[in-house]
A and B are shown apart, each in its own frame.
Chain A
């Protein structure tokens, strides 16, 4: 069902179940976020997405839309609160560049607050833990509460369940998670991984051994799918196409289809196909192509 309401004086609409942030993003209305990611559940952890709905201030990433809402993303109340939130985040994570940029954008004047460590970037938004859970690894979580709350592993040891997929590090809003790669190895959360090598040419792949096992198991695809490098796979595909081209009987194409390999949505230029195209008048001559390109 369509629900109509207003954001910043603009008439907008959305479906039942959408949040204010979903609709704002559809209309390109800017609302800053840090802990939000479309791939996992909405969290409301960083509080940066707050909006003013008149009688209350709510997090737009969690508040479901209702008919007749009058939402303001930049009322004086919101600007003041947003500046306070950014001040607190700046104090917690002094090294986070993204927060410094946001602070500059919203005209934040730094307050004298007790600062975290000068190299600290983590804002404990928990996005990494939700992505890790969605991946099915459950290797990291938030530990402790209050001012000591942080992201950590079980008993602060290298996590057994971590597969080294880097989904936490790639999506962290402040780049707070460190990892190191060198000479076919990867290290994250103090755990060492070996990167897989291409079975054909030996090039290093961006996947760890544990990652390959995990991906192939959960998607029901054989491990062979994941252990050839991009270039070898493309050369292999080119070779297959060339074999199909040089097989006018069409038998290879049949074998391809009966092996239930992902179907190619392209006709192979067999003799029959050529005849068909000629009959339909679809076989272009070089002259036709040049004329068309000339327009």
Chain B
């Protein structure tokens, strides 16, 4: 199963990944965030699809599950009640409150072919 590698030492801070992600979701808030201006470095952050996710543990409605094909942790957006339990529980801050449609979203690896990795010019994001 492929994984999205984040080789943060290569990051240019251009935020192309953020714009690609936003464009892929109809100009909504991007599911990937680049933390720049911190310790003179740039680190892109997105859902780490943890082995034992805190978000899954926090959700009471069984809305979060692992996609068996891609290995990604996914939120069922129709079933989600937007109670923000998962958003608050993620220790890495990688679940996003999408302000335009007022709902909780997160990276789902684009169903197995992440677009951010395709457009990253520095080789920071690689889907291997």
Q: Interface residues, chain A, CB within 8 Å of chain B?
A: 37-40, 131, 134-136, 165-167, 170-171, 205-207, 212, 215, 218-221, 225-226, 228, 230-239, 241-242, 245, 261-267, 269, 282, 284, 286, 289-290, 293
Q: Are A242 and B92 in contact (CB under 8 A)?
A: no
A170 and B97 alpha carbons, distance in the complex (Å): 13
Q: Interface residues, chain B, CB within 8 Å of chain A?
A: 3-9, 33, 35, 38-39, 41, 43, 45, 48-54, 57-61, 63, 76, 78-85, 87-94, 96-97, 102, 118-119, 121-123, 126, 128
Q: Are A265 and B48 in contact (CB under 8 A)?
A: yes
Q: Are B88 and A262 in contact (CB under 8 A)?
A: no
Q: Is the interface of A mostly helix, strand, loop or mixed?
A: helix
Q: Are A170 and B38 in contact (CB under 8 A)?
A: no
A242 and B59 alpha carbons, distance in the complex (Å): 30
A237 and B41 alpha carbons, distance in the complex (Å): 13
Q: Are B50 and A266 in contact (CB under 8 A)?
A: no
A266 and B7 alpha carbons, distance in the complex (Å): 9
Q: Is the interface of B mostly helix, strand, loop or mixed?
A: loop
Q: Are A241 and B61 in contact (CB under 8 A)?
A: no
Tell me how far the C-beta of A67 lies from the nearest C-beta in chain B, rounded to whole angstroms.
27
Residue from the list B60, B76, B96, B97 in contact with A135, Cβ < 8 A = B60
Q: Given contacts A225-B54, A241-B6, A242-B43, are A233 and B60 in contact (CB under 8 A)? A: no
Q: Are B83 and A225 in contact (CB under 8 A)?
A: no
Q: Are A215 and B88 in contact (CB under 8 A)?
A: yes
Q: Are A289 and B121 in contact (CB under 8 A)?
A: yes
Tell me how far the C-beta of A156 lies from the nearest C-beta in chain B, rounded to whole angstroms.
25
Residue from the list B39, B51, B61, B89 in contact with A265, Cβ < 8 A = B51
Q: Are A267 and B58 in contact (CB under 8 A)?
A: no
Q: Are A206 and B8 in contact (CB under 8 A)?
A: no
A219 and B88 alpha carbons, distance in the complex (Å): 12
Residue from the list B54, B83, B122 in contact with A165, Cβ < 8 A = B83
Tell me how far the C-beta of B2 lies from the nearest C-beta in chain A, rounded to whole angstroms.
11
A269 and B63 alpha carbons, distance in the complex (Å): 34
Tell me how far the C-beta of B3 lies from the nearest C-beta in chain A, rounded to whole angstroms.
5
Give chain A residues whose Cβ lies under 8 Å from the Cβ of B94. Answer: 234, 237
Tell me how far the C-beta of A284 lies from the nearest C-beta in chain B, rounded to whole angstroms.
5
Listed by A's residue number, 18 A-B pairs whose Cβ atoms lie within 8 Å are A39-B81, A131-B81, A206-B88, A212-B88, A218-B60, A219-B57, A219-B59, A219-B89, A221-B58, A237-B94, A238-B43, A241-B43, A242-B39, A261-B91, A262-B52, A266-B48, A286-B123, A290-B121
Q: Are B92 and A239 in contact (CB under 8 A)?
A: no
Q: Are B93 and A231 in contact (CB under 8 A)?
A: yes
Q: Are B57 and A220 in contact (CB under 8 A)?
A: yes
A167 and B89 alpha carbons, distance in the complex (Å): 17
Give chain A residues whose Cβ lies under 8 Å from the Cβ of B61. Answer: 39-40, 134
Give chain A residues whose Cβ lies under 8 Å from the Cβ of B45. Answer: 234, 237-238, 241
Q: Are B83 and A266 in contact (CB under 8 A)?
A: no
A48 and B20 alpha carbons, distance in the complex (Å): 40
Residue from the list B33, B53, B126 in contact with A262, Cβ < 8 A = B53
Nearest first, the 10 closest Cβ-Cβ pairs linking A and B are A233-B93, A262-B50, A238-B43, A238-B35, A38-B79, A234-B93, A39-B61, A237-B92, A226-B88, A263-B51
Q: Are A269 and B7 in contact (CB under 8 A)?
A: yes
A233 and B53 alpha carbons, distance in the complex (Å): 16
With A136-B60, A219-B54, A234-B92 already in contact, 16 other A-B pairs whose C-beta atoms are closer than 8 Å: A131-B81, A166-B83, A170-B82, A171-B81, A207-B84, A221-B57, A225-B54, A225-B89, A225-B91, A241-B6, A242-B8, A245-B9, A264-B48, A269-B7, A284-B126, A286-B122
Give chain B residues whose Cβ lies under 8 Å from the Cβ of A235. Answer: 35, 38
Give chain B residues whose Cβ lies under 8 Å from the Cβ of A205. Answer: 88
A289 and B111 alpha carbons, distance in the complex (Å): 23
Q: Are A207 and B88 in contact (CB under 8 A)?
A: yes
Q: Are B50 and A245 in contact (CB under 8 A)?
A: no
Residue from the list A221, A282, A293 in contact with B54, Cβ < 8 A = A221
